[in-house]
């Protein structure tokens, strides 16, 4: 998240000496250095001409340390510094109130990109002074928030000069800059994982195509920009269908945006898109199916009423013939994968979940596609934004299969997210009154990436909204890079565990890091933390307990403590055998038995197989049963080969 510090040159080190005592922020010096580099690049350009200057004989020549006359490059660099000094002379002015008049005045004073960089210097300095004066409370100040978002928009333009070289793009960029409803929302939601160039191109194309519609549907436009900023995963929508069978088409973001806008105005959608947040809408626009498929979904809304939309999953007949031996045809084998095809032919869980999600997206309902593993094997289900405004994340999730987690993809970043993270976000996210201030704090911290002050900024951000997990995760990455001691990091993770007592996954993450630090410092408390990880996650979040137990098992195997490994393995099966299912098999059973075989301990592996059979229910017709049978056969083959010379007593 936070990059390395750049190597500073002679001019930049001089600037730090000149300005740092005054403003103490490397972030402010960056645009000044950029100005100098711009000047030097201009001076070194192929067409740059130099003229001989006639100096008065009565005036001494200004020389460098090596006796040479100053170059034009140095002169231009000094000119850039002079411009920055002029900006700093105005930087002591208080941060102005943000309103339409002040925004228009800013653009009137800075109408073109060549004016923006000095203006950025001034604005950064004013924001810095405001933060140093108010601390964390600055993040809740509407003026600080708005000017920081404005700064982010201008910096985006400076970072993409080739895009703004097109006059039409430049005009659209400035027009959007005058309308914070779109540009500020875009900056708020832009993630470091986004392609900012790709996202900007999409947003500008929407503005050029129909600015009025973009202004009327700003969150929808930003959602398209930040989801279609780069290609979808190559195996979208999932890996159990040939991509050529999926009706992919109409991938132009402008065309898809217009489809949803017109559908909304024609009252074909279940929700008013002008009233939906970006966080909901990104789970609406995240598909590549042709618009005809989305139109098909709109054709018969009475078939599955919105109030009962969870039934969309079970409206598709389950094709049991595909999962019975000897078939096991998990992949879709029909030539096309349209909604109508699934309605006609039926499908297995992965097809049912896909059908429900696309049906929802066509009808204007944000939806999520989940996968997970439980007692018998893998499964797929879906979630959707219900008519009550709450997310329902367990539609089609079989309760008797003990799925500890459901995994989905965040379409903005294409990173894996799980249902516990989503539940926490929907509970402690945009609906929280402190969310906007916390996001402002994170944006301010990113502006200071690589600067030692970033840690204090993140501390202040945590104080604004302690329950926002994102801040803790970012600071966890910053601590080692800012020279935090082991004691400082131990305290940080103790605070982390205290904060997330009711959020098992985040608590587990903190415990894992605390355990690593305690072992590093040979603290005897490490053993109790290790036990807590397993004991506290035996029931609802048993997958975390299994992972913790697997870590202990791995340590014993790696150290050659086979007796200890056997005891740990048996204890883990006792703790989680009744519900662990595939998670337990993947993390513990397969690993332990396989390690025994590799070490030539076939007898110990066979003991492990028998122990599992006695204490863990395994249905031989499930994927878990099939995998376990294969593992058992490997152990039997190893014993037949006499691979037990080092077997345990």
Distance CA 473, CA 424 (A): 14
Mean pLDDT of 619-635: 88
Model confidence over 426-453: pLDDT tens digits?
A: 876 777 889 999 999 999 999 999 888 9
Domain limits for position 389:
243-251+288-428
Query: Is it the case that residue 584 has pLDDT exceeding 50?
Result: yes
CA dist 465 and 385 (Å) reads 25
Q: Judge whether residue 63 has pLDDT over 50.
A: no
In a domain, 2, yes or no: no
Q: Based on the fold, state whether residues 526 and 617 are members of the same structural domain.
A: yes
> Does residue 421 lie in a domain region?
yes
Query: What residue has token string 């994927």?
Result: 623
If phi > 0 it is left, if psi is from -120 to 50 it is alpha, else beta; for residue 483 that is: left
pLDDT band per the 50, 70, 90 thresholds, residue 165: very high
Same-domain pairing of 543 and 408 = no
Does 396 lie in the same domain as 247? yes
19 near 30, Cβ under 8 Å? Answer: no
Locus of tokens 């990880």: 533
Sign of the four-CA dihedral 586, 592, 596, 598:
positive
Distance CA 15, CA 13 (A): 5
Interatomic CA distance for residues 371 and 77, integer angstroms:
57
Q: Which band of pLDDT confidence, cut at 50, 70 and 90, is reported for residue 505?
A: confident
pLDDT band for position 602 (50/70/90)? very high
The pLDDT tens digits of the residues spanning 216-270 come to 999 999 999 999 999 999 999 999 999 999 999 999 999 999 999 999 999 999 9
How high is the pLDDT of residue 242?
95
**Together in a domain, 502 and 635:** yes
Domain-ending residue, one of 428, 444, 468: 428
pLDDT at 88 over 70: no
Same domain, 521 and 375: no
Q: Is the pTM of this model over 0.75?
A: yes
Q: Which of 2-16, 105-119, 165-179, 182-196 has the lowest mean pLDDT?
A: 2-16
pLDDT at 575 over 70: yes
Q: What is the CATH number of the domain that holds 346?
A: 3.10.620
Q: State the Cα–Cα distance between residues 643 and 598, nearest whole angstrom.
A: 9
Q: Check whether 8 has a pLDDT greater than 60.
A: no
pLDDT classification of 539: cutoffs 50, 70, 90? low
Q: Is residue 370 part of a domain?
A: yes
Based on the fold, state whether residues 523 and 420 are members of the same structural domain.
no
Tokens of 457: 């900024």
Q: Which residue has the higher pLDDT, 40 or 356?
A: 356
Of 196, 224, 197, 198, nearest in space to 210 by CA: 224
pLDDT number for residue 352: 97
Look at residue 93 in the predicted model and tell me its pLDDT: 80
Domain count, the chain: 2
300-303: long-range contacts, CB 8 A cutoff, minimum separation 24? 301/270, 301/363
Over the range 531-567, which residues count as b (16 or more CB within 10 Å of their CB) and which as e? ebbbebbeeebbbbbbbbbbebbbebbeeeebeebbe
Please state, in angstroms and rounded to a whole number, the distance separating the CA atoms of residues 87 and 575: 66
At residue 537, the pLDDT reads 65
| pLDDT tens figures, 467-483 | 999 999 999 999 998 88
DSSP string, 520-568: HTT-THHHHHHHHHHHTTSSTTHHHHHHHHHHHHHHHHHTT-HHHHHHH
413 with 532, same domain: the answer is: no
- Cβ neighbours of residue 570 under 8 Å, at least 6 residues apart? 611
Residue 473, pLDDT score: 92
The larger pLDDT score, comparing residue 424 to residue 128, is at 128
Mean of all residue pLDDT scores within the chain: 84
pLDDT at 642 (0 to 100) = 58
Rounded to an integer, the average pLDDT of 120-135 is 96
Residue 562: inside a domain: yes
State yes or no: pLDDT of 28 exceeds 50.
no
> Do 495 and 614 belong together in one domain?
yes
In this prediction, residues 592-617 reach a mean pLDDT of 93
Residue percentage of the chain with pLDDT more than 90 = 62
Q: 303 with 382, same domain?
A: yes
Task: Give 345's pLDDT tier (boundaries 50, 70, 90).
Answer: very high
Query: Is residue 423 located within the same domain as residue 292?
Result: yes
Which of 539 and 631 is assigned the larger pLDDT?
631
pLDDT tens-digit map of 155-164? 999 999 999 9
Percent of the chain with pLDDT strictly greater than 70 = 83
Statement: residue 271 has pLDDT above 60: yes
More confident residue, 381 or 41: 381
Q: Is residue 524 part of a domain?
A: yes
- Nearest CA to 360 among 309, 422, 288? 309
607 and 500 within one domain: yes
pLDDT value at residue 375:
72
Is the pLDDT at 45 greater than 60? The verdict is no
pLDDT at position 376 is 73
In a domain, 132, yes or no: no
CA terminus-to-terminus distance, the chain: 51
Give 127 or 303, the one with higher predicted confidence. Answer: 127
Distance CA 157, CA 173 (A): 8
| Long-range CB pairs of 258-267, under 8 A, 24+ apart, other chains included | 258/209, 258/210, 258/213, 259/291, 259/294, 260/217, 260/220, 260/284, 260/285, 260/364, 261/213, 261/216, 261/217, 261/220, 263/298, 263/364, 264/217, 264/364
Does residue 229 belong to any structural domain of this protein? no
Cis previous bond, 452, omega within 30: no
**408 shares its domain with 524:** no
406 lies in some domain: yes
Q: Given CA atoms 244, 245, 247, 248 in this order, what sign does their dihedral have? A: negative
């Amino acid at each position: 998240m936070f990059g390395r510090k750049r190597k500073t040159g002679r001019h930049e080190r001089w600037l730090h000496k000149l300005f740092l005592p005054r403003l103490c922020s490397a972030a402010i010096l960056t645009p000044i250095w950029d100005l100098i580099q711009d000047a030097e690049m201009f001076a070194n350009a192929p067409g740059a001409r130099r003229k001989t200057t006639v100096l008065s004989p009565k005036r001494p020549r200004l020389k460098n340390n090596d006796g040479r006359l100053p170059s034009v490059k140095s002169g231009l660099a000094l000119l850039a510094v002079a411009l920055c000094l002029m900006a700093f002379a105005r930087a002591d002015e208080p941060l102005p109130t943000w309103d339409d008049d002040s925004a228009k005045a800013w653009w009137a004073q800075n109408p073109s990109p060549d004016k923006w960089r000095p203006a950025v210097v001034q604005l950064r300095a004013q924001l810095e002074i405001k933060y140093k004066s108010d601390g964390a409370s600055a993040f809740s100040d509407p003026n600080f928030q708005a000017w920081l978002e404005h700064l982010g928009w201008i910096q985006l333009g400076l970072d993409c000069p080739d895009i703004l070289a097109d006059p039409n793009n430049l005009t659209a960029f400035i027009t959007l800059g005058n309308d914070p409803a779109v540009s500020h929302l875009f900056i708020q939601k832009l993630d470091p994982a986004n392609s900012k160039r790709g996202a900007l191109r999409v947003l500008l194309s929407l503005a050029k195509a129909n600015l009025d519609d973009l202004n009327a549907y700003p969150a929808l436009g930003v959602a398209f920009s930040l989801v279609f900023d780069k290609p979808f995963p190559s195996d979208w929508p999932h890996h159990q269908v040939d991509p050529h069978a999926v009706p992919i088409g109409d991938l132009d973001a402008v065309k898809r945006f217009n489809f949803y806008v017109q559908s909304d105005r024609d009252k074909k959608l279940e929700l008013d898109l002008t009233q939906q947040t970006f966080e909901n809408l990104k789970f609406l626009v995240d598909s590549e199916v042709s618009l005809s498929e989305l139109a098909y979904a709109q054709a018969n809304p009475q078939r599955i009423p919105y109030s009962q939309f969870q039934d969309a999953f079970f409206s598709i007949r389950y094709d049991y013939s595909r999962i019975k031996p000897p078939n096991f045809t998990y992949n879709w084998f029909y030539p096309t994968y349209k909604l109508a095809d699934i309605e006609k032919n039926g499908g297995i869980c992965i097809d049912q979940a896909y059908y429900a999600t696309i049906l929802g997206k066509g009808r204007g309902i944000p939806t999520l596609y989940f996968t997970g593993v439980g007692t018998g094997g893998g499964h797929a289900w879906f979630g959707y934004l219900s008519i009550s405004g709450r997310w329902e994340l367990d539609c089609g999730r079989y309760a008797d299969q003990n799925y500890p987690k459901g995994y989905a993809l965040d379409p903005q970043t294409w990173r894996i997210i799980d249902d516990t993270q989503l539940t926490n976000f929907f509970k402690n996210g945009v609906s929280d009154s402190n969310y906007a201030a916390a996001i402002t704090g994170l944006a301010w911290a990113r502006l200071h990436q690589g600067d030692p002050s970033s840690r204090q900024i993140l501390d202040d951000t945590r104080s604004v909204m302690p329950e926002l997990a994102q801040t803790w995760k970012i600071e966890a990455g910053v601590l080692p890079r800012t020279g935090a001691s082991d004691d400082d990091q131990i305290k940080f993770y103790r605070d982390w565990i205290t904060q997330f007592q009711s959020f098992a996954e985040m608590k587990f993450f903190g415990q894992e890091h605390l355990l690593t630090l305690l072992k590093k410092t040979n603290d005897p408390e490490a053993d109790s933390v290790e036990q807590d990880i397993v004991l506290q996650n035996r029931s609802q979040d048993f997958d975390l307990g299994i992972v913790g137990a697997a870590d202990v098992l791995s340590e014993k195997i790696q150290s050659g403590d086979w007796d200890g490994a056997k005891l740990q393995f048996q204890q883990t099966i006792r703790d989680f055998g009744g519900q662990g299912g595939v998670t337990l098999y993947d993390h513990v059973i397969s690993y332990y038995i396989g390690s025994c075989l590799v070490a030539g301990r076939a007898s110990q592996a066979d003991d492990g197989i028998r122990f599992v059979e006695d204490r863990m229910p395994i249905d031989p017709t499930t994927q878990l049963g099939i995998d376990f049978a294969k593992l058992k056969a490997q152990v039997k083959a190893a014993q037949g080969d006499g691979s037990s010379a080092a077997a345990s007593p």
